[in-house]
Structure 1
Amino acid sequence: MADNNPTDDDNLSPEDEFQKLLRDLLSGKPVEGFPEGMAIDPAQFASAAGIPNDPAALAALFSNLQNAMNAADDSIDWSLSLNNAKSIALPTTREITAEERTSLDQELQVAALWLSEATDITELAEAPRLLTRTEWITRTMPTWSALAEPVALSIANALTDAMQENAPEEIQAALGGASKLIRNIGGALFATQLGQVVGQLSQEVVSGGDIGVPLIEHDIATLLPQNIADFADGLDVSIDQVRLYLAVRELAHARLFRHAKWLRLHLISAITDYARGIHIDMNSLEEFASDFDPSNSEELRQALTTGAFIPEKTEAQLAAHVRLESMLALIEGWVDVVTAAATSRLPRAAAIAETVRRRRATGGPAESAFSTLVGLELRPRRLREAAAMWARVTELGGASVRDDLWDHPDILPTSEEIDNPDLLLMRLGLIDGNADSADKDEFEQALADLLSDTDTTRPVEDDHGGIISRDDGPEEEK
């Protein structure tokens, strides 16, 4: 029989031989030449990839990886993300009740009226939507894949380049021909992991704008009643007040992105700019491999998810990182300020706002999402500073001056103006920069005159009436 012919494998090209090796590993077959006939343990592989050790899920994953190996091109199949996310969310998803629909429809109408009193940005063109967890996954996955694709491709390219540059000469030919194969498998793994993240987020997010980026196209406001109920559970606040407060926040977020039509593309471009600089640190990879225990899948999972093999950010990445972080802080800070103004008549608004801040400070959905996509940790301090800046602009210039800053990216507050709002206020003419400079110059001149006093002969009394010399004073200050 052909299967028993020992010469079949001997005639394989280096590329075919490499593909056979990967197929054998993925199918769990022992591989000749590997220690003790090593094969991939599905349970350990699942743990390393951060996916549940479920037989059906593992079978689907390995099938997807083998399909990726046979794909005609090197594009990423994002249906893997969609299917994996839904498989995670479906067991916990419940339908929206009639009471929830009726109550939220009324609360959204009130929220729109209150919001119109707090901002000049016009109302939305389409009515808000109420979604289940699985519906949220379906509607948001196109945006997730658009955000994730540049990162996934950069990581796949970096891994392929690193392997080709550092592999022994005898297998260079095989790797060169199998680069598309490696990219496809890496893309499939990334898509699977993204599905894991989105599936988990579907159980946490309360609205479409909960992570700062509008995940649903056409700037449609969305709320997840099941997750809002979970959010309110344990708070000493009635559920109707919680729903009303979160409705105001979501409408504010959606209105902002409808008004600033350039904003969505601006955010995606910042992520893409960051992803272009991703590469693999082979020294870190070699150090890890030398001490790696194959039976410790948790160690591998931690290394993959924490970016242990990705070196320090380049200057270009740092600049993109700052732009993205500043933009997200400006968005969230503006929403905070507008929501606070719109919900001023809501009795427990302050308590709900504090819960939102605590959730954000301890790592909310936004941090989970962007940490996975670009390794970005949103700093709560930055968000507080942005909110304080927007509050000062509102106090001195009113809502119209504040909201007009979103008309174009070139006039939006800079990172420096977030840190020092007076710079923005002077640019807007809301405070007198010349008068401020004059006061500063007068103070500095008086200080200079004091320090330049060279009369060292005149005695100076201390606090107790004693005499100290001029020479002693400066020495004491040193």
Structure 2
Amino acid sequence: MSDQHQPGDTPQSWEDMLRSMLGDGADDVMAEMRARGIDPTALGGPPDPMMMQYALAQVQKMLSAEGAGPVNADVAHDVARQVAVSEGDPSLTGRQAKDATDALAVAELWLDAVTDLPPAGGTRRAWNRSEWVEATLPVWNELAAPVATSVSEALATVLRDQLPEGVDDGEAVPGMPAGVLHGLGGILDPTQMMRRLGSAVFGMQVGQAAGTLSREVFGATDVGLPLLDSPDTVLLPTNVARFADGLDAPIEEVRQFLAVREAAHARLFTHVPWLRSHLLSIVERYARGITIDLDALEAQVRDIDLSDSDALRSALSGGVFGLQNTDEQKAVLLNLETTLALVEGWVDEVTAVATLPHLPHAIPLREMIRRRRAAGGPAEQTFSTLVGLELRPRRSRDAATLFAIVSRAQGQAGRDAIWDHPDLLPGTLDLDDPSGYLVRREAAEAEHADVDAALKEIFGSAEDAEPPTDQSGTDQPGTDQPGTDQPGTDQSDADRPEADDPTDEDRGPR
């Protein structure tokens, strides 16, 4: 006879009970219980009813808290903090904090010489990993929320059709211990339980990814998204020191190079007022266009028996969370990737120009950061799997080349002017052919100028063409008045709108 726990068996231990309920999610739940002072594996078995009720209350708190939303923020927070400190996260010493903030101050001086964008104006900060999690996790929850909502609703809809008759009325789900269902009380409705369990699952995944990122990032802007509401600049000395360990460059150079990158990002996000909303709106458009193929999802869970804990474990392991990206969605993702590449390319170019006169290892440090950003880390891969968003600026080299070309042709003012308006932002064609960007931009600007001139002619003529009236206020047809555009009237060039210049037709492609 197999020793494996079978559906419907009475759980012989706390671990058996949780695995019967949650499958692969049991490990995360037990980690959460340990964080709350309860070690399920140390409680022995079988569990007595009173202790079972207490433990189930902890599980219920995690899975079914009212207002948890599509992503359980409490679970995300707890998991992220646990992951952040899993490799150690000591408080920063005064020397570490001073070295970091001093490097950020020097970075501003160097950037003043190479860009017209002024300093962000925020506070210079040194954080440990836990502080980074606390400050940035709300944005990660917000990014994942729309996807979590769509997937959880679709999963609940499909599974509702698979439930045994009568379960929705509160009858026991076959195979789940009666004590478990009684203890979960307010979430007996399996459809609602699926939504809330989905919220907890997404919370765990977001927390895992954010916590992992906290061990990889050097500041608040590494991933290219504006994660802070304030214009602060940040360094994480622990991560900077670990990155510098083993490099040929001294840690002072590494710290200073990363500080310049952080300050450059902050200037861009602060003084290009449309950029933050532009990036976040791309993410929002992607989320708004998410569609879940219910037929495909139903095919994945059609044969699931809710009394089969192995089938439930497979269903909740993430296999059912497949997103169907439409052509429109793919275009939105390409737009996001291109914009992230432009942000990274500008920062890369500006940082190189600012550091080359001062840091002997600026070139190898630049190359190392380029490779690191293009490859992405485990946390970025987790977010890609979770919400389908690529945070890697794959084409940052092409973008940096484009900004360098513009800088050589038009100086730093021309390079920074690329950010003047989102409609003139370089696209994928410009990254394919950076050397031709300026020609295409001049043509686009000429077209805009033609449109503006035409509008000025239309509205200017309308303003000048007020019909004359006699003393009674009636129109006098055929009366020539100054400023009216009558047939045959000889109007001087000075009175005509500037768009009537006959050379306007030769300005180039419309």
- Structures share a fold, TM > 0.5? yes
1:358 corresponds in structure 2 to 371
* Distance change in 2, residues 1:198/1:372 (3 Å): farther
Give yes or no for contact 1:43–1:53 (8 Å, CA) kept in 2.
Answer: no
Residue from 412, 418, 427 that aligns with 2:425: 412
Distance across 1 between alignment mates of 2:445 and 2:210: 48
Partners in 1 of 2:426 and 2:27 — Cα distance? 39
The 1-side partners of 2:167 and 2:310 are apart by 29
Which of 111, 114, 118 is 1:115 aligned to? 111
SS of equivalent to 2:159:
helix
| Equivalent of 2:276 in 242, 245, 264 | 264
Q: What letter is aligned with 1:170?
A: E
Query: d(CA) in 2 for partners of 1:266 and 1:181?
Result: 36
CA offset digits 1:209-255 (Å, max 9, x no partner): 01111212112111100000011111011000000000000000011
Counterpart selection for 1:82 from 73, 77, 80: 77
For residues 228 and 405 of structure 1, do their structure 2 counterparts lie closer, same or farther at Cα, with a shift above 3 Å needed?
same
Q: Secondary structure at the match of 1:129?
A: strand
Task: Quote the residue 2:201 is aligned against.
Answer: 189
Tell me how far 1:415 sits from its aligned partner.
2.4
Amino acid at match of 1:414: G
Specify whether residues 351 and 171 from structure 1 end up closer, same or farther in structure 2 by C-alpha distance, changes over 3 A only: farther
Q: List runs of 5+ in structure 1 lacking aligned partners.
A: 1-28, 434-478
CA distance in 2, matches of 1:430, 1:398: 20
Instruction: Sort the Cα spacing of 1:373 and 1:402 in 2 relative to 1 into closer, same or farther, 3 A.
Output: farther
| Cα pair 1:285 1:309 within 8 Å, conserved | no
Match of 2:151 among 142, 152, 155: 155
* Cα distance in 2 between the residues matched to 1:179 and 1:168: 9
Per-residue CA distance 1:393-412 (angstroms, 9 max, x = gap) = 11212211221222322221
Select between 43-52 and 337-346 the one with higher mean Cα deviation.
Answer: 43-52
- The aligned amino acid for 1:186 is G
Picking from 434, 444, 457, the partner of 1:421 is 434
**Corresponding residue for residue 462 of structure 1:** none
Which residue matches 1:12?
none
Contact 1:65 1:189 in 2 (8 A): no
What is the aligned counterpart of 1:132 among 121, 128, 131?
A: 128
The structure 1 residue matched to 2:242, chosen from 230, 239, 248, is 230
Q: Do the aligned partners of 2:158 and 2:297 also contact (CA within 8 Å) in 1?
A: no
Contact 1:31 1:39 in 2 (8 A): no
1:335-364: per-residue Cα shift (whole Å, max 9, x none)? 111111111121001111122122223323
Q: Which moved more, 1:381-390 or 1:420-429?
A: 420-429
**Maintained 8 Å contact 1:89/1:200:** yes
C-alpha deviation, 1:50, in angstroms: 8.0
In the alignment, structure 1 residue 349 sits paired with structure 2 residue 362: yes
Assess, with a 3 A threshold, how the Cα gap between structure 1 residues 296 and 287 changes in structure 2: closer, same or farther.
Answer: closer
1:275 aligns with: 287
Equivalent position of 2:162 in the other structure: 167
SS at match of 2:395: helix
1:376 aligns with 2:376: no
1:437 corresponds to: none
2:60 corresponds to: 66
Mapped partners of 1:99, 1:358: distance in 2 = 30
Structure 2 distance, partners of 1:432, 1:412, is: 12
When residues 391 and 82 of structure 1 are mapped into structure 2, their CA distance, relative to the original with a 3 A threshold, is same
Q: Give the SS at the match of 1:222.
A: strand
TM-score by length of 1: 0.72
Deviation at 1:288, TM superposition (A): 7.8
Q: Which moved more, 1:352-361 or 1:423-432?
A: 423-432
Contact kept in structure 2, 1:281 and 1:311, CA below 8 Å:
no
Matching of residue 402 in structure 1 with residue 415 in structure 2: yes
Once residues 217 and 389 of structure 2 are traced to their aligned partners in structure 1, the CA distance between those partners, rounded to angstroms, is 18
2:257–2:362: 8 Å Cα contact kept in structure 1? yes
Aligned partner of 1:100 in structure 2 is: 96
Shift of 1:309: 4.5
Paired letter, 2:162:
A
CA distance in 1, matches of 2:415, 2:239: 32
Do the aligned partners of 1:65 and 1:188 also contact (CA within 8 Å) in 2?
no
Q: 2:34 aligns with which of 48, 56, 61?
A: 56
Asked if 1:318 is matched to 2:330, the reply is yes
What is the one-letter code of the residue matched to 2:80? Answer: A
Q: Indicate if the aligned counterparts of 2:213 and 2:379 stay in contact, CA closer than 8 A.
A: no
Aligned CA distance change for structure 1 residues 334 and 49 (closer, same or farther; 3 Å): farther
Check conservation: 1:281, 1:310, Cα contact below 8 A: no
Partner of 1:255: 267
- Deviation larger for 349-358 or 282-291: 282-291
Q: Distance in 2 between matches of 1:184 and 1:315?
A: 31
In the other structure, the counterpart of 1:10 is none
TM superposition score normalised by structure 2 = 0.68
Alpha carbons 2:340, 2:393 under 8 Å: kept: no
- What is the CA–CA distance in structure 2 between the aligned matches of 1:400 and 1:130, rounded to whole Å? 31
The alpha carbon displacement at 1:416 in A equals 2.2
Cα separation, 1, equivalents of 2:26 and 2:364: 39
CA distance in 1, matches of 2:234, 2:190: 44
For structure 2, list consecutive stretches of 5 or more residues without a partner in the other structure. Answer: 40-54, 171-187, 447-510
Aligned-residue offset at 1:205: 0.8
Q: Judging changes above 3 Å, is the alpha-carbon distance between structure 1 residues 219 and 158 closer, same or farther for their aligned structure 2 residues?
A: farther
Report the CA distance shift for 1:420/1:72 in structure 2 as closer, same or farther (over 3 A): same
SS in 2 for 1:135: helix
Equivalent residue of 2:217, what SS? coil
Secondary structure of the structure 2 residue equivalent to 1:219: coil
Question: Displacement of 1:280 after TM fit?
Answer: 4.7
Q: Any idea what SS the aligned residue of 2:292 has? A: coil
- Counterpart of 1:267, as a letter, is L
- Over alpha carbons, which structure has the higher Rg? 2
SS in 2 for 1:118: coil
